[in-house]
Structure 1
Amino acid sequence: MAWVLCLLLLAAPARVLGAGKATTEGAFQNVVVRPGDTLWAISHQYLKDPSRWDEILKHNSLPTSDPTIALPGMTLRVPVKLIKNALRAAHLSYAVNRVFFRHKETAKWKDVKMEMELFQGDSLRTLEDSKARVRFLDKELLNLEPNSMAIIKPMDSDADVVLRAGSIFAGRARIVTATARVTPRGSDTRYSASVEADLTTKVEVFKGTAAVEAQGASVEVPAGMETLVRPGLAPQVPRKITRLPELEARAQEFASAASVGGGAAPEPKVPPPAPDPEADIEAIRGDIQVLKIGEPIQGYHVQASREQDFRKVLFDRRYDVEDRFSTLETGLPPGAYWWRVQAIDLLGVAGRYHAPHYYTVGIRRADPENERLASMLNLLSPEQNAEVGGDTVRVAGILRDERLTLEIEGRPVAVDADGNFAVVVKVPVGGSTIGITVSDSKGNRSRISRRVIRM
């Protein structure tokens, strides 16, 4: 018997929408049936175990308990825990400003409603200065950022979300974009996936690890790292996250939302990003020399702090005018610090501090050109500390710029038209470190190493 089923959307309009905690236990999904539909047919279509059709009887007043008799037009309340996973609703638990949805196979976008149900293949869209949060039936959340569009539980994929544009912050959700697939490796993973205008996918991992796949290659991205996947290319080698304060704020908002079941969460204040260091600490010698110009002095005073306003001073020392400042005596761990100096005149009176400068201690400042060269190389094998049973190892990868030159262990390596390369390298007993060098015509060079252990 032909029959048609429609899923009812619960609606309550609001400009800022939020909801309390929900669980699958005691939750119901509404199903509207038309005359001619039977309880038995509905159970086969919607229930994981059709033989439990009698569970529907417990929660609905039906004119008959015979599952083969056609039902009149009515709305059934079906326990969510019984419904097939693919047909179970997610809920829009929070929305700010202009957020829209559309059902699969429809073209019209409509305003979202509080606690509305979202079904397999439905899409969400946020405009500028707008946000949305989705709560799946397993309580998993995902945040949809401004100017974003996503498909929930796509019909033709086992992913949880297809991200068409914009950015998502998620935990256990598997996300697919036009250029990549992201799979969290553990239940505690927290990460962001973004799609840029040229369809490049950017994945930033705040906690745990996420696998990023594209073009038959895969990279593991650990916490604190990010990777880019450009159209038609394999994922880039993971690097440190470039906008960590912003990601930390998004992670804080996500955790806060999870604590209240996905509803409204306080918007965290994003701390201003730290400036780029001006130079290495050795540059402070020039600041000290400036103090000696003009009026004679008997000494100088040096301070260092993490904060520009020097609320907490981490290094504080006075020197005689002939004493030489030594970076070795600061005792500070590697990092970037604010530094300031002041002159002490012949009467022992300290003058005003000069304007502070942001210098690094104990770390080598990044060379942008070398970082660019390194980003052009995607080394697929071997992995760091790989174990091999024989006396050779295969070194393979992709060089993304045909103008660059590749050397492995000091020997030039041929690269094909698509940038692929593969060579076999001898491994001595005990193992060795294999050096891979990328260079350009200007003489810039970037070196990557892989330790290989021979068993």
Structure 2
Amino acid sequence: MWLMGKKATILIITFMAILSLFLLSQAQEERVELIEVTVKKGDTLHKFAEIYLRDPSRWPEIYKYNKELVKNPHLILPAMKIKVPVGLLKDEIADIIRIRNKVRTRKRGESEWERAVLRMRLFSEDGIRTLSDSLAHIKFIKGEIIRLGENSLVILRPEEKEETVELLSGELRASEAKVLTASAIVEPQISPTLAKPDFKTKIKKDKTTLVSVYKGKVDLISQGERVTIPEGFMSQAKLDYAPEKPIALPPPPDLDQAKEELAKKPAAPELGEQEVVEEEINLEETLVGLDFSEKKRRLGIKYLHLQVASDPEFMDIVEDKRLKSIAEYQRRKLPDGEYFWRISYVYEDEFESKYSPVRSFTVVTTPPGLEVSSPQEREKIPDEFVKVKGRTDEGCIVRVNDKRIYVDEEGKFFTVVHLTLGKNIITVQSEDEKGNVAIVKRKIEAVHPKKRSFWGGPGIAITIGLMAIILISVL
């Protein structure tokens, strides 16, 4: 009996141990952190396993967490949200999704910087830097995108799979990533009840951390003290000092004022009848209208920060310039399309104002259509005048030998040009409202009119007529 009781006790203890381990494993499984990945056309579980686990044969480990959504593991549809356990991820944490000009990367433990390429995968402790007039966007596996400005350097330092970067120099713009600097920690407040944060962190020359918040709330932590920066405010933490009290972001440049300044410009030369020019307030004119040099002296502005992007959210920035004077600005050649721009003031203390309202402009580099029906190439003109006529696109300005001529509503034009004896060149130029120019040239020759002889002209007719009269009289 005693022996049987001992065996029963051992069985009970063993059962309880197994049950405890099972319950513990279940609890751990329930606490598994998952990230959601949106399925795109051509995606498979094998592909996700190769990307995130670096082994396509491990797809069942992903399927395990998606059985309710995915009935057929060999068929997943676009727009599905596939869950991937964070604990299974290898140490790669981000990809480079945008590069402009000179961007460099450095692998963990190495000293040499190499040229970055699009879609390059970054791992924990890797570094990425941008040089002058350059930028880079990196996308974390969870979807967070960090945008680096020029002359910036960051190291990727995940903390328990949290999206974290260390900013050593320059500036970055982020939404949910934690930012470490030499003087502070920047933590965005993530909550379903709060707006998704949008903030910029900048390192000043003296290692001060400057944080500007455009949406949501962000905490700035330094020397054991925490300051919450609300939307539309900014704060800074100097090295070895607690964060300063948040202050409102400076107001953006007044573009309406620029428009008023433009209206004060001297009137354009008057045009002749039927000659109408439509005035357009473009990007360059607006910058001039801001009277930046005067504001710079009065308000202590260091430079004007200009951004041009191909999208209104400014995810695809094609120009990011800091101008000390308006005369510095020369817009780079851009492909045809619609672009968006905004500007802000950056002051001597590195504080930056809010951005101005987003404005847009269109780039069209295709020259207008231009047809010259008269004269024809190498035509010989037996006169000292030639008629020039043709057709162009509606709204264009046409010049013939540098002289502007009238164009009707259908784009038709006509003029007369005086020629010199011998070879002449007729140059017809059409310019559209975007400044695109089409040119057609005609090489022609002005020749002497052919002199008609007496017998080759009316003389022979007169002679025949006289002979007929004489013959009739005789008969």
Q: Is the TM-score greater than 0.5?
A: no
> Which TM-score applies when normalising by structure 2?
0.39
- TM-score between both structures, scaled by the size of structure 1: 0.41
* Higher helix proportion: 2
Higher radius of gyration, 1 or 2: 2
